[in-house]
Amino acid sequence: MLQGLGVVQKELIGKATREEPPWKATIDLDATVIESHKREAYYTYLGKRGYQPVVAYWADQDLIVADKFRDGNVPAGMNLLSVLKEAIGALPRTVRLVRVRSDSAAYVHELLDWCRKKCLEDPGLSLPSAPI
């Protein structure tokens, strides 16, 4: 079921960018707390019950290119690399420059090391910019 949604999302991204093929992408990677009153919801770092999904937003095109649902007690920096990889994989092949923007939650070794490695392999991928 979720794989099917991924296929639909990729098709929608392709249709949204078909008229003028983009060559760059600025990906905003951010987790946000969504309060919930469900008993199943875990307490967030804000002290209230809720969830903390992470979203990869393609700022240049005003599109969400990847997301991951997470419980509220998950640290904001957890598994961001998998969401970033999914986001980059969802971009059209015409994109040659990728910039990553995030807050301090993305300052984890796994993500930064991967970005550094990609920059050496492909100079089109920029390291995350200063926190927003």
Tallying the residues shown for the chain, one arrives at: 132
Q: What is the mean pLDDT of residues 102-113?
A: 92
pLDDT at 131 over 50: no
Query: H-helix or E-strand containing 82?
Result: helix 80-90
Give the pLDDT of residue 123: 61
Per-residue pLDDT tens digits for 28-47: 999 999 999 999 999 999 99
Contact between residue 46 and residue 72 where contact means Cβ atoms under 8 Å apart: no
Helix axes 109-121, 80-90, angle to 10 degrees: 30
The model carries a pTM of 0.80
Give start and end residues of each alpha helix (H) in the chain: 2-16, 80-90, 109-121
Query: In degrees rounded to 5, what are phi and psi of residue 4?
Result: -60, -40
